[in-house]
Copies of this chain bind each other. A is one copy, B any other.
């Protein structure tokens, strides 16, 4: 079967009032793309029977497989399960395996099992039950006229568990599809338009089954080649040829040929070079440390971070001199030099990274323009500093400083700074 297509329907009022960001569909899309399964549309609707039914009608017509998440919880705002039962013409029955599992979960969590929890073990008798190891709401799989409709809970880790344990093996067994492959080039230092201009001639030579996308984010532009074809081995070779051509052309701004977040790229380089790192974070407030510790095994190269939101902490824990702070201010080149070296010494690290800035108005540094950030990287022998001026709001300025801080540390290690 060539190019099977999936629609995702996410259900919940919380999505439509913006209280919850839908991260489920991005995760599902990524996971299915790995299998060569393409997502055609993602639709979010509220907890309203009519809207859910309409979405089902439309997406079943348009796609081969429809995945639903949400609407399966125990409380009164959930209406999806009875709707699916009616839609596929069955009766609700208690599933013994699910019931035992739900009771077991309540026992382990030392919570009383209530009558309304019994509902969670009920499923339409027309569905195949997809067991939910991590929660109480089971997944359900329905078939109709060769199309498959799968309903999953909205809690992300429960949805992910059922996807991995049940849905993906099922899809692998029942659907074969063209390979869909991606190759990426991560760049830093030039904008989207400028990169497009530099590779315009290469882009025009791409065949129809290979597409190039530009994905800009804080300080970084990712180029993604997507190819589709029946012959996977040939497709790999083809994509890697285009990846080579483009990365050779952009050589001076290429950070990685692996589509990884910067914390992974920096972590790999630290491991390779057998160096440790420590941070002195003022305006980034621990966000760089958070990123680097998202990587499993980061304890092999990450010593720690001193989040110094007050000048007295910069002095006492990092050894920044009071005179430096008094004379030049907390947001200055002189201070960031002492912070980077202080991080290196206090945290017993080979490399120190310091970040100090003014992300939003206020904060006692009013002589410095809002958005000014100083970043410094140091080892035993040298210290490199750079000044930035970000023009966004506070969260985005923090994100920029975090990404560019990691980028500068990576460049320092690669002798590109």
Contact = CB atoms under 8 A, between A and B. Distances in A.
Contacts of A347: 313, 317
A58 interface: yes
Given A40-B51, A316-B346, A21 B21 contact: yes
Contact of A290 (B43, B73, B287): B287
Given A77-B212, A290-B285, A55 B41 contact: yes
A275 to B, nearest CB: 14
Contact of A17 (B39, B117, B216): B39
Contact of A76 (B38, B44, B194, B196): B196
Contacts of A316: 346, 348
B13 A74 contact: no
A299 interface: yes
A182 interface: yes
Identical subunits present: 2
Contact of A303 (B46, B212, B259, B310): B310
Nearest to A180: B17
B293 A286 contact: yes
A75 B214 contact: yes
Interface in A353-399: 360, 362-364, 391-396, 398
Interface in A71-100: 73-77
B13 A29 contact: no
A182 B203 CA distance: 50
Interface in A32-69: 33, 38-47, 51, 55, 58
Contacts of A38: 16
Contacts of A58: 58
Contacts of A392: 134, 157
Interface residues of A, number: 107
Contacts of A169: none
A42 B55 CA distance: 11
Chain A contact surface mostly: mixed
Nearest to A195: B75
A306 B303 contact: no
Interface in A95-146: 109, 111-112, 114, 116-117, 134
A21 B23 contact: yes
A31 B18 contact: yes
Given A193-B75, A292-B285, A19 B215 contact: yes
A305 interface: yes
B313 A303 contact: yes
A14 interface: yes
Given A17-B29, A111-B194, A114-B193, 20 more contacts: A13-B211, A14-B215, A14-B224, A15-B26, A15-B42, A17-B33, A18-B30, A18-B31, A41-B44, A73-B214, A75-B214, A285-B294, A286-B286, A286-B307, A289-B307, A298-B309, A299-B309, A304-B308, A306-B317, A316-B346
7 contacts: A16-B40, A16-B41, A41-B44, A74-B192, A77-B213, A134-B392, A285-B292
